[in-house]
Amino acid sequence: MTRILGIDPGLQRTGFGVIDIEGSTLRYVASGTISTLELARGNLPGRIKLIYEGVAEVKRRYQPQSASVEIVFVNVNPQSTLLLGQARGAALAALVSDDLPVAEYTALQMKKAVVGHGLASKGQIQEMVMRLLKLPGPPGKDAADALGLAITHAHAGRSFEALVGANTPRSHAQFKAGRTY
């Protein structure tokens, strides 16, 4: 059995999702969000700290063997992209602080893996995650994206592990289907 933690980074809400995979069977473990909304909008250092500590706590509590994080692309607003990148950096730092292997996937890759097409809506992702993990109801949007990233890694992870195994432990490799460190 392998436990995978998915992270959907966001400055206001960072989604997390934890699944177990045994053979081809996926099992839901936990999901939720790390919210920074109680802090002032201008308190960027406080928000980054909260994201780092929240992801570190989720990692400690659920003890995953690997993690997956969404790759951020430049949006229409460069300032928003920079802020999102800082939130993502805080989440990545918390994940790799104990050498947890981290894979990265784009939103398009996750949507294709979970729903079957890259233009899927948030509602479609929630519905498919609910079905794939046999949940009683749809998870929240951020948690659904995080669970989707974990599911994507569960399907693609075996291929990546074989490729990463050929590299030295700290080397970087870029693969067509995503990035793995």
Question: What amino acid positions are annotated as catalytic residues?
Answer: 8, 70, 142
DSSP state of 140: P
Distances (CA, A) of 44 to 24, 36, 73, 119: 41, 10, 20, 31
Alpha carbon distance 128, 36 (integer Å)? 27
Q: And the tokens for 92?
A: 């990545």
Q: And the tokens for 59?
A: 């990692």
- The candidate with the shortest Cα–Cα distance to 72, out of 104, 48, 120, is 104
